[in-house]
Amino acid sequence: MRLAGPLPRAKRNAGAVPAELEPLQRLSAGNCSFYGGSRRRYGRGSHWLEFMVGLRLEHITHAFHGKVAVDDVSLEVDKGEVVCLVGPSGCGKTTTLRIAAGLEEVQSGRVTVNDRLVGDDGRHVPPEMRGVGLVFQDYALFPHLRVLENVAFGMTDGPSARARRVAANKMLDRVGLAHLANAFPHTLSGGEQQRVALARALAPKPALMLMDEPFSGLDIGLRDRIRDDTLSLLKELGTATLLVTHDPEEAMRMADRIALMREGRLVQEGAPDRVYREPDGPFCCTFFSKVNSLKGIVENGSVRTQLGRLEADHLSEGTATQVLVRPEAIQLGDLGGPESDSVIATVVESRVLGPYSLVYVRTEVGGPVFEARVTGTHPPKPDAKCRLTLDSSQTFVFPLSSG
């Protein structure tokens, strides 16, 4: 095991690492730390080959006690790319990340890291030999090491222990914790502990980062800034990153590409704007935004609903449909506006939520209430009459049988 700087003698002899952290210490004794790794170079003399950074999962299937958790998942992450693996709890996204990391052995399929086969049904390269950085929801900091020592722990590159400590200090500064370099983990808040874990993962400049809900422990005021700073640093280092999150906004904010999972399978993959604007089905649509849900029948290429008529020429005549209308699609205007493609609505309730307002409306007496999200801080008052139209780019018509 190599530390990034000598510990005080009393601390080195203070006793064994706590049992729950022994795996981390073992991993850090390998070619890269549990929280970080570095690019590998192979060859002799001046003839070096630097392997491209990346992750490739091919037809991964994994089961626990006969229950399939990951079902034929194939996914690639290129150098410098951030891919967010999203989905509801229990969909298999964390298991997929653990397989990529080597924390679960491959049952079926292939895993390639940095252009090297590290896992299939007959091969298992352990995590410490994969050259990756890992960050999980729990902080897993060494309680007997100071913050700076935690960050420097996995750094095995560098000309000297002093240089490694300088690099660790710079990383602490990047996450806003340089002033806590000499503190012990138990004196930090949860958000500060998570930022130390992030710094420890990023300090060795790993070629591949695998991150499982890394920002969930941060308080709201810091979350956006830390996410942006982390993304900037990952891009600066050209690090391939697979980030698992259940938060669709976080995925939209950070990802170059989003992969959406449901019940162990990938159901949609693409750029954030594409998966938002062009959902492949009702599940994909409802995962990324709230919707008003209606039903209807295709007649003459369109579907008539309580919110108006929507085009459906991609579906056969007589098809039963599920119509999903995002709150942003509902536009409310004065009664004196154009009558074409509009319906009359009555405001039930309105709430100002900062830069936008929520307005709840009915289009029929005793009918369902629909939610509209409108800009501004002066929404119509309850019982007001409005003319309602729809932005077709925010409405979706699917066959009722689609999932």
Mean pLDDT in residue range 89-95: 96
pLDDT digits (tens, 9 = 90+) for 266-300: 999 999 999 999 999 999 999 999 999 999 999 99
Select from 132, 34, 133, 137 the least CA-distant residue to 94.
137
Report the share of the chain in percent with pLDDT over 70.
Answer: 85
How far, CA to CA in Å, does 159 sit from each of 128, 166, 258? 22, 11, 39
Q: How confident is the model at residue 120 (pLDDT cuts 50, 70, 90)?
A: very high
- Alpha-helical (H) ranges within 34-89 are none
- DSSP secondary structure letters along 220-254: HHHHHHHHHHHHHHHHHHT-EEEEEES-HHHHHHH
Mean pLDDT in residue range 237-266: 95
If one compares 199 and 264, the residue with the highest pLDDT of the two is 264
The answer to which of 27-31, 190-194, 293-297, 349-353 has the lowest mean pLDDT is 27-31
**pLDDT for the residue 159:** 67
Q: How confident is the model at residue 72 (pLDDT cuts 50, 70, 90)?
A: very high
For residue 116, the Cα-to-chain-centroid distance in whole angstroms is 25
3-state helix, strand, coil in the chain (%, to 5): 25, 35, 40
Mean pLDDT in residue range 121-127: 91
Asked if residue 12 has pLDDT above 90, the reply is no
Mean pLDDT in residue range 93-120: 95
pLDDT digits (tens, 9 = 90+) for 363-382: 998 899 999 999 988 999 99
**pLDDT for the residue 226:** 79
Asked if residue 258 has pLDDT above 70, the reply is yes
Asked if residue 56 has pLDDT above 90, the reply is yes
Mean pLDDT of the chain: 85
pLDDT digits (tens, 9 = 90+) for 193-222: 888 988 898 888 777 899 999 888 777 777
**pLDDT for the residue 122:** 87
**pLDDT for the residue 5:** 36
